[in-house]
Every structure is written in structure tokens, then in C-alpha cells.
């Protein structure tokens, strides 16, 4: 698909991943991009979506908007995470069909996978069990967009693709301790401990669980490549193809931030899914995507960005 002359709506385009996607689109020559803001378009409502499509007349929609958070936020808001994420995606796709949109790019999540899955996760294993309990409502809400995409392709010929990124990190991430994911949460804990002369940080779980992390710029590039080159009905993983234990992650962030204290593990809190690591072969085969940013390099860039922001706000 030649996309430089297309009108493209990026929901969530003002967010962490969205800003990178918008930047990538502009880098390749896309001039007609539109980012709906929540104050103008509440995408949980059909009327706002109809108005968005009527006013902007998009050819392509990249649906990045979502209500997300770490384990704590998921435990506290299971109903909200389910409803808001489901209703946004369902109505955006349904109205996209009715308005004749050429292509819909639905962004799912690694949380769609069953709690116990052979590592590395293959797309074919997606339906082999129930997701990890703490984020199941969120994961299932996103997973239903795959069902809808495939059903609409079969009945209406609607071109909708479904991508599943792993945990993202990078400059500009969400560092709010009430809703952040593990990488920004650990970075903030370390900086706060240094600032307050504390000799330890407390981390949830046992540290045994593993996660896979993808630098946000790589994720944005993968999404744009898929938009250009992939038109299949089957889901595709977007990842880096490695896993690291939370224990090793915490120790690496402690080292890179310069925190000299200890890590205390709070085993009364959940670890979440035992392991996460995806098979990335399909993304490379179908649209040539491969992660490029080494993990430690990406962490250094993220920490340096936060250090500047932290110092700026502190001053």
C-alpha cells in the first residue's frame, strides 16, 4: 500500500507509542495525519467516532488508544480496563466498516496470550488457554478485536490487521507510580531513593518472572511497516525475541541509575505471568520487521531522558 497520500487517523497518537508512530509516518512522507484528542473525541462513544470519521474522512486508522497500566492498575480497575478498551475498538472497527475505511490497524497486546504458554510465544498458541488473571480483562478486551477483525474480513471484506506488541519502554514513557509498567516504575524508584537518601527499594513479587521489552521507536517502526506491507487476517507478534527476569532487570536498572542501595522483594505481591517472550519470525517474514535497539542501550536512553526530566522538574 502506498500510504504517503492517505489520510491517516492515529488514535492515541498523543501518547507514548503514538507520538513515535506519528513521527515515523511523517519521516516517510505522510502529510495527512490526524490525532484525535480525548477532550474532543471520547472514543468510548459511538457518536464521537461517527463525528471523527465524518470530519476527517480517513483512509487508514491505526488504533493505539487504550486504558493501560501495570499489575496494580489492572487489579484495581478490571471492569474499566475491560469495558473502555473493548468498546473503543469494537465501535472504531464497526464504524470504520460502515464508512468504507481502506485499512484498520488494531494494536493488541502480549496480555492476549494464555497464562501458561510455550516459550517463545507463537501466534498459533493464542487460544490455548486463559490469560494471566491480573490482566485478563484487559487482554481479553483486546483479543476480541482480533475476533472482530477476522469476522469482518470474512463477511464484509474489511481489511483489518491485528498486531501484538510486547512490553514497551523508552523516553517519554509513563512514570506515574499508580499506572506505570515495570521499567519506568523501577527507574523512578531508584531516582526517588537516591533523592531521599534511602538505602533500599521495594519491588513487587519474587523477581523470578520474565518479561520481554521492546524499545518504543522499534515498535513504531514495526507498526508502520505492517500498515504498509501486511494484509493478513492472522495476528502477528511485535517483539525483540528475548526475555529477562525481573530480578536481572531490577539489578541492571539499579546499576545504570547509580543507586547504591539494596532491592527488597515483596513476595506478598503477585509476579504476574510466569514468563513472556515471543517468536518474532512471522513479523520478519511478512513485513521485514526486526528489533534494532539493544536492550541496555535502550535503557540508558530512557534513564538519561528521565534524568533530564527529573532534574528539570526538581529545579
**Which tens digit of pLDDT belongs to each residue from 35-47?**
999 999 999 999 9
> Could you read off the pLDDT of 164-197 as tens digits, one per residue?
999 999 999 999 988 888 999 999 999 999 999 9
What is the pLDDT at residue 272? 86
User: What is the C-alpha separation between 183 and 178, in angstroms, rounded?
Assistant: 13
What is the pLDDT at residue 314? 66
Question: How much of the chain, in percent, has pLDDT values that exceed 90?
Answer: 89
Q: Which domains occur in the chain, in start order?
A: 8-169+214-239+277-293 (3.40.50.720)
Work out the average pLDDT over 17-46: 96
Residue-by-residue DSSP string for 12-47? TTTSHHHHHHHHHHHHTT---EE---TTT--TTSHH
What is the pLDDT at residue 75? 87
Count of CB atoms within 10 A of residue 231's CB?
15
Res. 71 pLDDT band, cuts 50 70 90: confident
Res. 241 pLDDT band, cuts 50 70 90: very high
What is the pLDDT at residue 73? 81
Residue 138 known to be catalytic: yes
What is the pLDDT at residue 70? 76
| CB-CB contact of 254 with 263 (8 Å) | yes
Least confident interval from 16-25, 70-79, 97-106, 131-140: 70-79
In Å, what is the CA distance from 237 to each residue of 18, 52, 92, 136, 163?
A: 18, 29, 22, 18, 6
* pTM for the whole structure: 0.94
Work out the average pLDDT over 14-28: 97
What is the pLDDT at residue 227? 97
What is the pLDDT at residue 179? 81
Least confident interval from 7-16, 147-156, 171-180, 272-281: 171-180
The one catalytic residue among 113, 138, 152, 306: 138
The two counts, helices (H) then strands (E), for the chain are 10, 12
What is the pLDDT at residue 315? 58
| CB-CB contact of 82 with 139 (8 Å) | no
Amino acid at each position: 500500500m502506498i500510504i504517503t497520500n492517505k489520510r491517516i487517523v492515529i488514535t492515541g497518537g498523543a501518547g507514548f507509542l503514538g507520538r513515535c508512530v506519528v513521527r515515523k509516518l511523517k519521516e516517510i512522507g505522510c502529510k495527512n495525519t490526524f490525532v484525535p484528542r480525548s477532550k474532543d473525541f471520547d472514543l468510548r462513544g459511538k457518536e464521537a467516532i461517527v463525528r471523527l470519521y465524518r470530519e476527517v474522512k480517513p483512509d487508514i486508522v491505526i488504533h493505539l488508544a487504550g486504558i493501560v497500566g501495570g499489575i496494580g492498575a489492572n487489579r484495581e480497575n478490571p471492569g474499566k480496563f475491560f469495558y473502555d478498551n473493548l468498546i473503543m475498538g469494537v465501535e472504531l472497527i464497526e464504524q470504520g466498516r460502515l464508512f468504507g475505511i481502506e485499512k484498520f490497524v488494531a494494536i493488541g497486546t502480549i496480555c492476549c496470550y494464555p497464562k501458561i504458554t510455550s516459550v517463545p510465544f507463537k501466534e498459533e498458541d493464542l487460544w490455548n488457554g486463559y490469560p494471566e488473571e491480573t490482566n485478563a480483562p484487559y487482554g481479553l478486551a483486546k483479543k476480541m478485536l482480533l475476533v472482530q477483525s477476522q469476522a469482518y474480513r470474512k463477511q464484509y471484506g474489511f481489511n483489518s490487521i491485528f498486531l501484538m506488541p510486547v512490553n514497551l519502554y523508552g523516553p517519554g514513557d509513563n512514570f506515574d507510580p499508580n499506572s506505570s509498567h515495570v521499567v519506568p516504575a523501577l527507574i523512578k524508584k531508584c531516582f526517588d531513593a537516591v533523592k531521599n537518601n534511602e538505602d533500599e527499594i521495594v519491588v513487587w513479587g519474587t523477581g523470578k518472572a520474565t518479561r520481554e521489552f521492546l524499545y518504543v521507536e522499534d515498535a513504531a517502526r514495526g507498526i508502520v511497516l505492517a500498515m504498509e506491507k501486511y494484509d493478513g487476517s492472522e495476528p502477528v507478534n511485535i517483539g525483540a525475541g528475548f526475555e529477562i527476569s525481573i530480578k536481572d532487570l531490577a539489578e541492571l536498572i539499579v546499576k545504570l541509575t547509580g543507586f547504591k542501595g539494596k532491592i527488597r522483594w515483596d513476595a506478598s505481591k503477585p509476579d504476574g505471568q510466569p514468563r513472556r517472550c515471543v517468536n518474532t519470525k512471522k513479523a520478519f517474514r511478512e513485513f521485514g520487521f526486526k528489533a534494532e535497539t539493544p536492550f541496555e542501550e535502550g535503557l540508558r536512553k530512557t534513564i538519561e531522558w528521565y534524568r533530564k526530566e527529573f532534574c528539570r522538574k526538581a529545579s
